[in-house]
């Protein structure tokens, strides 16, 4: 629940404009054989260790299986079958030591660099859980040389906060709640930004000690800061601040001054970046915060399709051509226990002796009887099929982006390589935990497709009648309605 009083909970304090944010609209599923839970009121508006190459999704010339004709005059008469294998069979173990994963993304243990967990079980780093609640505090901070962009912090923060709170309820299906309080006034620092303390801890302490006296920091899990416009590098080369964070650069476990996480975004988020303006970044702040909160939960994100507009983990700002999606990919929902076991259709290789018919609910629709198909072909090649629609949390997508997205997950991958300018996001040259697989009918190469960095990811969408063939298995989208996708999974020679 959103609270407008100045009390604590995890959040970024951000100086941004006061434009309202459009609230996502989950839609109801169609009336065929699946059922869908009603959306909650908070979201009711709007075995090798080498990653499998995406190129293996191309059509096999030796396959003798027959592709079913797409159905265009109505949905198939299917009854949703039970998952052929227990969900636990699809919970593939992460290949990295638990001690390394517990260090958090980017941490070090025994000479090895950690990535976030991409296999089971999910492991926390720091103290952010995957269930329950996080209490966050949102603060706007001004230096003596910066300009306040809004008089009342609530005018900016309240729309952003509502979106984040609704997002957590929707995507966790009620398992996790992000709650926020907004500090009623600006925190004003008595020095210019170019003379700000170089130490993150010292700067955080200067802010925390100036919070209003009625704020109970004991109830706060984290404080997120956003700076007033006009910050200038000087004593600090950047203004990304990390205290008690998974990305912390300074750590003194014996210093009891600040127990909470204190976090702010870096200079990139306060500057124009080509066509992506600072105003757009401010208006879309809530999506950036969701991305960073997930990182603090030790989620790896940045795949499949790093930089693509297919989810909040891959790209948390709008693109110019295909909008953005604030969805969380199905595998990471599953990993966080934000998807009920009954919503997972687990197909092991032995199950492929029989054609599997599955009716999927799009991720953008709340609930649903089946939200994902998972096929663990091996411990390093786990195929995931999810249904997607240009509605709700993906409402700014091009309307043609409707169908399936299919990707392979490698929980054994030793490292994750992202934030590389020349990486188009799906290139196995840059090791990722997951890669998209393109339809057999697509002429573009999934390993070199760079259009998605500008938001154009249509080659990855599996449309009605299209197939994805991968390592002895074929997936076909037989029929689609507004709220359901009818999918067959079969073995091929």
Whether residue 375 lies inside any domain: the answer is yes
The pLDDT value recorded for residue 276 is: 83
- Residue 151's φ and ψ, nearest 5 degrees, are -75, -50
Whether residue 177 lies inside any domain: the answer is no
Whether residue 422 lies inside any domain: the answer is yes
Burial of 41 (0-12, 13-18, 19+ CB in 10 A): exposed
Average pLDDT of the residues in 96-113: 90
What is the 3-class SS of the chain, one letter each residue?
CCCCCCCCCCCCCCCCCCCCCCCCCCCCCCCCCCCCCCCCHHHCCCCCCCCCCHHHHCCCCCCCCCCCCCCCCCCCCCCCCCCCCCHHHHCCECCCCHHHHCCCCCCEECCEECCCCCCECCCCCCCCCCCEEEEEEEEEEECCCCCCCCCCHHHHHHHHHHHHHHHHHHHHCCCEEEEEEECCCCEECCCCHHHCCCCHHHHHHHHHCCCCCCCCHHHCCEEEEEECCCCCCCCCCCCCEEECCCCCCCCCCCCCCCCCEEEECCHHHHCCECCECHHHHHHCHHHHHHHHHHHHCCCCCCCCCCCCCCCCCCCCCCECCCECCCCCCHHHHHHCCCCCHHHEEECCHHHHHCCEEEEECCCCCCCCCCCEEEEEEECCEEEEEEEECCCHHHCCCCCCCCEEEEEEECCCCCCCCCCCCCCCCCCCCCCCCEEEECCCCCCCCCCCCCHHHHCCCHHHCECCCCEEEECCEEEEEEEECCCCEEEEEEECC
Among 35-39, 152-156, 349-353, the minimum mean pLDDT is found in 35-39
What pTM did the predictor assign? Answer: 0.84
User: With pLDDT > 70 as the criterion, what percentage of the chain qualifies?
Assistant: 82
The pLDDT value recorded for residue 160 is: 94
The pLDDT value recorded for residue 37 is: 36
Distance CA 225, CA 217 (A): 15
Task: Kindly report the average pLDDT of the chain as a whole number.
Answer: 84
- State pLDDT tens for residues 378-393: 999 999 999 999 999 9
Distance CA 475, CA 122 (A): 28
- 70 pLDDT band (50/70/90 cuts)? low
Identify which has the larger pLDDT, 19 or 363. 363
Identify which has the larger pLDDT, 467 or 453. 467
Whether residue 178 lies inside any domain: the answer is no
Q: How many CA atoms lie within 13 A of 260 on its CB side?
A: 26
Whether residue 172 lies inside any domain: the answer is no
Identify which has the larger pLDDT, 50 or 375. 375
Among 279-283, 315-319, 374-378, the minimum mean pLDDT is found in 315-319
The pLDDT value recorded for residue 322 is: 66
Q: Return the bridge partners of 200, or none.
A: none
Q: Containing domain of residue 62, as a range?
A: 41-96+327-491
The pLDDT value recorded for residue 41 is: 37
Whether residue 45 lies inside any domain: the answer is yes
The pLDDT value recorded for residue 125 is: 78
Rg (CA), the chain: 23
The pLDDT value recorded for residue 435 is: 96
- State pLDDT tens for residues 474-488: 999 999 999 999 999
- State pLDDT tens for residues 242-287: 888 887 755 555 565 688 889 998 888 888 888 888 888 888 899 9
The pLDDT value recorded for residue 451 is: 84
The pLDDT value recorded for residue 15 is: 33
Cβ atoms of 255 and 248 within 8 Å: the answer is no
The pLDDT value recorded for residue 376 is: 98
Whether residue 302 lies inside any domain: the answer is no
Average pLDDT of the residues in 169-185: 97
Average pLDDT of the residues in 27-47: 36
Average pLDDT of the residues in 433-458: 91
- Residue 200's φ and ψ, nearest 5 degrees, are -60, -45
Average pLDDT of the residues in 7-33: 35
Query: Cα dist. 134→116, 220, 241 in Å?
Result: 20, 8, 20
The total domain count for the chain is: 1
Among 44-58, 119-133, 175-189, 405-419, the minimum mean pLDDT is found in 44-58
Distance CA 462, CA 477 (A): 7
pLDDT tops 70 at residue 142: yes
Identify which has the larger pLDDT, 72 or 336. 336
Whether residue 369 lies inside any domain: the answer is yes
Average pLDDT of the residues in 46-70: 40
- State pLDDT tens for residues 154-167: 999 999 999 999 99
């Amino acid at each position: 629940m959103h609270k407008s009083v100045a009390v604590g909970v995890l959040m970024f304090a951000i100086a941004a404009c006061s434009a309202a944010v459009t609230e996502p609209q989950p839609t109801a599923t169609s009336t065929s054989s699946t059922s869908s839970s009603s959306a909650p009121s908070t979201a009711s508006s709007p075995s090798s260790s080498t990653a499998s190459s995406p190129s293996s999704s191309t059509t096999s010339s030796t396959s003798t299986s027959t592709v079913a004709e797409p159905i265009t005059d109505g949905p198939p008469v299917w009854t949703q079958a039970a998952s052929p294998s227990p969900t636990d069979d699809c919970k593939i173990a992460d290949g990295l030591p638990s001690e390394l994963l517990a260090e958090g993304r980017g941490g070090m243990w025994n000479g090895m660099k950690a990535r976030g967990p991409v296999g089971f079980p999910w492991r926390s780093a720091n103290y952010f859980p995957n269930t329950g609640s996080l209490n966050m505090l949102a603060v706007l901070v001004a230096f003596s040389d910066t300009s306040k962009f809004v008089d009342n912090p609530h005018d900016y923060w309240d729309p952003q906060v509502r979106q984040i709170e609704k997002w957590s309820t929707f995507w966790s299906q009620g398992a996790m709640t992000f709650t926020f309080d907004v500090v009623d006034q600006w925190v004003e620092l008595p020095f210019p930004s170019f003379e700000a303390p170089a130490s993150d801890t010292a700067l955080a302490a200067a802010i925390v000690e100036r919070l209003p006296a009625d704020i109970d920091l004991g109830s706060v899990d984290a404080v997120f800061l956003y700076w007033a416009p006009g910050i200038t590098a000087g004593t600090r080369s950047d203004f990304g601040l990390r205290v008690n964070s998974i990305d912390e650069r300074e750590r003194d476990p014996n210093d009891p001054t600040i127990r909470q996480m204190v976090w702010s975004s870096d200079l990139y988020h306060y500057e124009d970046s080509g066509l992506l303006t600072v105003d757009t970044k401010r208006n879309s702040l809530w999506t950036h915060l969701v991305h960073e909160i997930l990182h603090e939960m030790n989620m790896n994100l940045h795949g499949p399709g790093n930089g693509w507009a297919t989810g909040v983990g891959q790209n948390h700002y709008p693109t110019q051509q295909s909008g953005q999606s604030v969805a969380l990919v199905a595998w990471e929902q599953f990993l966080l226990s934000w998807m009920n076991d009954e919503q997972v259709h687990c197909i092991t290789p032995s199950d492929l002796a029989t054609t599997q018919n599955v009716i999927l609910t799009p991720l953008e629709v709340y609930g649903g009887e089946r939200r994902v198909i998972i096929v663990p072909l091996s411990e390093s090649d786990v195929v995931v099929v999810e249904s997607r629609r240009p509605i709700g949390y993906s409402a700014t997508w091009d309307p043609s982006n409707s169908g399936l997205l299919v990707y392979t997950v490698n929980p054994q991958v030793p490292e994750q390589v992202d934030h590389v300018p020349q990486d188009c996001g799906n290139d196995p040259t840059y090791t990722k935990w997951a890669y998209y697989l393109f339809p057999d009918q697509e002429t573009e190469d999934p390993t070199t497709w760079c259009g998605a960095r500008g938001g154009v990811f249509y080659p990855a969408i599996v449309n009605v009648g299209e197939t994805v063939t991968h390592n002895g298995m074929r997936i076909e989208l037989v029929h689609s309605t507004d709220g359901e996708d009818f999918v067959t999974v079969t073995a091929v020679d």
